[in-house]
Structure 1
Amino acid sequence: MRQLDVALEASGIGIWQHNLRLNQTRWDDQLKQLYGVRKGEHDVVWLDSVHPEDCAKASSIFEEAIACKSDYASQFRIVRPGGEIRHVRSRAKYFVDGKGEECFIGAEWDVTEDVQRNEQLAREREAAEQSRAEAKFAAEHDHLTGLTNRRAFDEAFAHLATGEADTAALCHIDIDRFKEINDRFGHPGGDLVLQHVASMLSTVIAGDEVAARLGGDEFAILSPQCTNERAAELLDQVRQGLSKPVDLDGGSVRVDFSAGIAYARGAEIASLLTSSDIALYVAKNDGRNRDELFTPALAQKLNSEKQLLQELRDALQIGEIVPHYQVQVEASSHSVCGLEALARWESPSGLRLPADFLPMAAANGLMEFIDDAILRRVLFDIKRWSMAGLAVPRVSVNLSAARLADPRLIDKLRSVGIPPSQLSFELIETIFLDRLSDQVRDNIKLIRELGVEIEIDDLGSGHASLIGLIELRPDRVKIDRHLVSPVLGNNLQQQMIRSLIDIARALDMTVVAEGVETLGHGTVLADLGADVLQGFAFGRPEPAVATAARLMLPRQTARQRAL
Structure 2
Amino acid sequence: MIGKPPSKPRQSVENYIRSIGRHYLQAVIVMTLLIAATYLTMVVALDRHSLQQKISFLTSNQFIRFQQLASQTRALMRASADPTLPEYITSPMRDDIHRAIGDIHAMSAELHELHQSIGGNLLERLNPRDEVSEQLRLELYARLEDFLERATRIANATTEDRRQRYSFWGPIDFAVAADGMLMRQFAELIRHVHDRSGVSIDNAKLISTGLLALIAATVILASILLFGPLLKKLRNEHRRTMAFEKRLTLLAHTDALTGLNNRSSFNAALGNLFGELERTGSGFSMLLVDLDRFKSINDGLGHPAGDAVLRHVARALQKTARASDVIARLGGDEFAVLLPGIRDASVLDAAAERAIEAIAAEIPFEDRMLQVSASIGGAVVPDHAVDEAGLMRIVDLALYTAKGSRSTTVIFDETALARRLEENQLSLALVLAADRNEFVVHYQQKVDLPTGAHLGFEALVRWQHPELGLLAPGRFLPLMEGTQLIRGMTRAVIAAVGRDLKAWKAAGLTPGPVSINLPETLLVGDEGYEFFAGTIRENGLEWRDFAVEITEDVFLNRSADQILATVARFHKHGVSISLDDFGTGFASLVHLRDFPFDELKIDRSFVDGIGRDARSEQIIRAMIHLAQSLGKRCVAEGIETEGQRRFLKDAGCDVGQGYHFARPEPAALAGKRLPRQAAAIDRHTAAGAPAASRRRLALR
The TM-score, its normalising length taken from structure 1, stands at: 0.63
- The corresponding residue for 2:119 is none
- The corresponding residue for 2:401 is 282
Contact 1:434 1:465 in 2 (8 A): no
Greater shift, 462-471 or 182-191, is seen at: 462-471
- The corresponding residue for 2:262 is 149
- The corresponding residue for 1:379 is 498
Offset at 1:268?
Answer: 0.3
CA distance in 2, matches of 1:466, 1:118: 68
- Stretches of structure 1 that go unaligned for 5 or more consecutive residues are 15-29, 35-85, 89-108
The structure that has the greater radius of gyration is: 2
Give matches, 1:479-498, under 5 Å: none
Q: Match for 1:129 among 239, 242, 258?
A: 242
- The corresponding residue for 1:105 is none
Contact 1:327 1:539 in 2 (8 A): yes
1:424 has 2:546 as partner? yes
Number of residue pairs aligned between Structure 1 and Structure 2: 466
Greater shift, 259-268 or 229-238, is seen at: 229-238
CA distance in 1, matches of 2:266, 2:591: 46
CA distance in 2, matches of 1:496, 1:484: 10
Offset at 1:302?
Answer: 1.8
CA distance in 1, matches of 2:422, 2:459: 29
CA distance in 2, matches of 1:351, 1:416: 28
- The corresponding residue for 1:179 is 295
Tell me: CA distance 1:545–1:408, structure 2 relative to 1, closer, same or farther (3 Å): same
Contact 1:335 1:557 in 2 (8 A): no
List per-residue Cα deviations over 1:512-535 (Å, max 9, x = no partner): 777788999999999998877767
- The corresponding residue for 1:344 is 462
- The corresponding residue for 1:293 is 411
Give matches, 1:410-449, under 5 Å: 410-413=528-531, 416-418=534-536, 419-427=541-549, 429=551, 437-449=560-572
**Aligned AA (1:259):** I
Tell me: CA distance 1:165–1:281, structure 2 relative to 1, closer, same or farther (3 Å): farther
Q: Indicate the SS of the match to 2:520.
A: helix
**Aligned AA (1:375):** I
CA distance in 2, matches of 1:355, 1:507: 33
**Aligned AA (1:280):** L
1:261 has 2:378 as partner? yes
**Aligned AA (1:343):** V
- Stretches of structure 2 that go unaligned for 5 or more consecutive residues are 1-201, 684-700
Tell me: CA distance 1:2–1:275, structure 2 relative to 1, closer, same or farther (3 Å): farther
**Aligned AA (2:499):** F
Contact 1:393 1:422 in 2 (8 A): no
- The corresponding residue for 2:13 is none
CA distance in 1, matches of 2:381, 2:643: 60
Tell me: CA distance 1:11–1:198, structure 2 relative to 1, closer, same or farther (3 Å): farther
- The corresponding residue for 2:337 is 221
Q: Indicate the SS of the match to 1:427.
A: strand
Contact 1:424 1:455 in 2 (8 A): no
CA distance in 1, matches of 2:317, 2:500: 56
Give matches, 1:318-357, under 5 Å: 318-326=436-444, 338-348=456-466, 349-357=468-476
- The corresponding residue for 1:454 is 577
CA distance in 2, matches of 1:210, 1:297: 28
Contact 2:556 2:586 in 1 (8 A): no
CA distance in 1, matches of 2:350, 2:641: 53
CA distance in 2, matches of 1:335, 1:146: 60
CA distance in 2, matches of 1:486, 1:231: 32
CA distance in 2, matches of 1:494, 1:522: 12
The TM-score, its normalising length taken from structure 2, stands at: 0.52
Q: Indicate the SS of the match to 2:434.
A: helix
Q: Match for 1:402 among 520, 524, 531?
A: 520
- The corresponding residue for 2:435 is 317
Offset at 1:479?
Answer: 7.5
Q: Indicate the SS of the match to 1:143.
A: coil
Contact 1:494 1:528 in 2 (8 A): no
Greater shift, 277-286 or 404-413, is seen at: 404-413
Tell me: CA distance 1:534–1:193, structure 2 relative to 1, closer, same or farther (3 Å): closer
- The corresponding residue for 2:188 is none
Q: Indicate the SS of the match to 1:175.
A: strand
Offset at 1:321?
Answer: 1.4
Contact 2:637 2:657 in 1 (8 A): yes
Give matches, 1:505-524, under 5 Å: none
CA distance in 1, matches of 2:588, 2:340: 50
Give matches, 1:24-35, under 5 Å: none
**Aligned AA (1:325):** Y
CA distance in 2, matches of 1:129, 1:549: 81
> Over aligned residues, Cα RMSD in angstroms?
5.3
Contact 1:426 1:457 in 2 (8 A): no
CA distance in 1, matches of 2:635, 2:320: 54
- The corresponding residue for 2:285 is 169
Offset at 1:154?
Answer: 2.6
Contact 1:501 1:530 in 2 (8 A): yes
CA distance in 1, matches of 2:658, 2:543: 23
Contact 1:434 1:468 in 2 (8 A): no
Tell me: CA distance 1:239–1:339, structure 2 relative to 1, closer, same or farther (3 Å): closer
Offset at 1:496?
Answer: 12
**More helix, by proportion:** 2
CA distance in 1, matches of 2:337, 2:532: 50
